[in-house]
Structure 1
């Protein structure tokens, strides 16, 4: 069919009908889309603001004290680095974890730490710190009542391995400073800057390719020993507020303490804390030819204050036995390729212990591993502390 085109005289200033319709058709859609975008932005903004204002969680700390009647006091409970104190503490901490993870709502319970085990005529007294996260709008007293109720409820069920004397149980709210001071009496406690728990297991690839440590406080006893003018030389572990444990071979070239400094934190530059070294003691039976007794101590001129970032490590019992395939971590600022530069950010990698018998095989270390040494890594390589 043939349609005659519409005719317009020059006097007609109207655009063609077709175009006018299209413009009218698009306007409501544009308007609707624009309105939707504005509504979405307002909604997201309100969501973010309400999340931070209403849902912002905060840490709450409590000091718990109670009497356990089915445990006899042992002298070594008084030594916080002893196997007895460690094992008993872990048992109590695991018990608390089970009680609160079951009952206090998703993720409210953070962790607990036993501070002291003291003698009592009916057993032992336990002093411990409990940490929780609740909305910042909650009151410490309100949360204390919730925790108390959960504990009393679990005492009724009698599912716990330890018998707690109910009237002896007291709970006191404490601030973060008091909590930190209490934890400073214990070694080996890892805390992030926000007092959040650290993952118990971190999957890492080779230190050589591996992940940089993400969090301050992950390895708070790690120090970097540096020669003035020459930078990082060796890693070290803080074992008290003034002493570092390191390798004797670090000081082969220079034993003058005045030339050395120690820094703490997950970066060498800037350091979280820096100290001068006042004294260096090499193991008297160190043999550089065989690497036997490759141990040294460095004393700081001024002590460090313990914090979430700086903390002492627990020294293991001298009789400790680590069976093959025990997970251990290597941490440090060392180079990630042969003769490469040192790293500014602390790295870590998980490795496994290997028996000395395997390590002394002809195709491995061929008898170089003595009774004072420990072998760790993987026979197939993959994860390593470089050299």
Structure 2
């Protein structure tokens, strides 16, 4: 991102922030309280007089009985935990025909509005069917993999995820799922008409499930191969904090100059293409001098790749920060996994109203002009309308249609130096889209000076023209 200095303000322009990028603010953690120690001689011993009594008096008998009941209860709980509560994940690939929907050409484009909206409708229907009807098991999630044409409508390929006791078998659970589905199709009023004979369900292992989901973008996976919901991040963010787990932001990359270290962030949008800011390459456009790394730490990196090509927007203007967008192509593709994954590119028609909750991540400093952070940081911010951002007391008309403001008018939470080129992402039903690229701003986290990001939807066609994505 780029930030304005005092000299910039006299020109009423903010200089590119290649080495003055947006950064996340940090909250200091309180030191844990230490236990207070007391000397034994501060507390005199008290001698209690005992009186002779029979061991099995009523009080002792009652206490003994309660102890036996408690021990029995604990034992039952432990047995229940290991026998019943020791759940495991079960995955199924389902396919079926929907007869009351006509196929649209954009169903074949996973990033299209048509595919997204139809997928969400199908996934909501599956949740409605299974959420309350999975018996002793638990429905986790579904993900539409493919929508294809059919003579009578459309064909759906979808992954279903469940948690059941580990003592169950995949085949027995399959019969439960089929029974639940058939009953629902006969009884409930569903928005889509499913041709029952066309329905098929196949158990798959976690590797097959992961490979299928890799064909979809914007999905974050936990170590147990269960998708992470948006709330897993929301609950951990307070004015910028270290990311909590591997794979929480699997599309984040670090762009580094060989011999000079981290310069900018970038976002994985395919297994070979990174999306970043044009101003990151202002001083050096030679791809052979750059590398990209992945993982939650810069050192050591999880994965390292060389950069083979750099494409900067033809109309990038450093003085006005317009068209601050670039692409970097890796020489060797990365393999998608739980911890490395691509983000979704938004449809050009996607609109985010003011105060929409979005997330920014990066390795940048936590104070203006501070050092790069080795561990990836994250912060929740909110979108701010261009009308507000263009006020005289904010950025005084410098925000163009290709820019997006995000942060808080009171400041405190922001991106900063070293975060430039990194992602601003939006969650839409646990599918994540890149909506902004950290671009510029005045200093870091000042009141009335929110972060300014390249608005990705404005450049959707440009990205496609260069990458085919």
TM score, norm. by length of structure 1: 0.85
Partner of 2:258: 228
Distance 1:46 1:153, change over 3 A: closer
Distance (Å, rounded) in 2 between the aligned partners of 1:146 and 1:134:
11
Match of 1:203 among 230, 234, 242: 234
Partner of 2:193: 163
Confirm or deny: 8 A CA contact 1:205 1:383 kept in the other structure. no
Distance (Å, rounded) in 1 between the aligned partners of 2:180 and 2:297:
42
Distance (Å, rounded) in 2 between the aligned partners of 1:140 and 1:186:
25
Match of 1:274 among 304, 307, 324: 304
Alignment of 1:14-163 (within 5 A): 51-52=81-82, 55-105=85-135, 108-163=138-193
- Give the aligned length: 367
Partner of 1:331: 361
Partner of 1:351: 381
Distance (Å, rounded) in 1 between the aligned partners of 2:180 and 2:295:
38
SS at the partner of 1:103? coil
Alpha-carbon deviation of 1:316? 1.1
Alpha-carbon deviation of 1:68? 0.7
Confirm or deny: 8 A CA contact 1:226 1:260 kept in the other structure. yes
Alpha-carbon deviation of 1:345? 2.2
Partner of 1:238: 268
Q: Does 2:351 match 1:317?
A: no
Partner of 1:384: 414
Give unmatched runs, 5+ long, in structure 1.
1-18
Distance (Å, rounded) in 2 between the aligned partners of 1:49 and 1:212:
38
Give unmatched runs, 5+ long, in structure 2.
1-46, 417-443, 445-469
Distance (Å, rounded) in 2 between the aligned partners of 1:321 and 1:156:
38
SS at the partner of 2:234? coil
Distance (Å, rounded) in 1 between the aligned partners of 2:223 and 2:270:
21
Confirm or deny: 8 A CA contact 1:206 1:383 kept in the other structure. no
Distance (Å, rounded) in 2 between the aligned partners of 1:109 and 1:218:
22
Distance (Å, rounded) in 2 between the aligned partners of 1:91 and 1:169:
18
Distance 1:158 1:235, change over 3 A: same
Q: Deviations over 1:92-112 (max 9, x none)?
A: 111111221122257711111
Confirm or deny: 8 A CA contact 1:77 1:85 kept in the other structure. yes
Q: Does 2:290 match 1:260?
A: yes
Alpha-carbon deviation of 1:366? 0.7
SS at the partner of 2:382? strand
| Bigger RCO (CA 8 Å, 6+ sep) | 2
Alpha-carbon deviation of 1:171? 0.5
Larger Rg: 1
Q: Deviations over 1:221-249 (max 9, x none)?
A: 11111222332221111111101000111
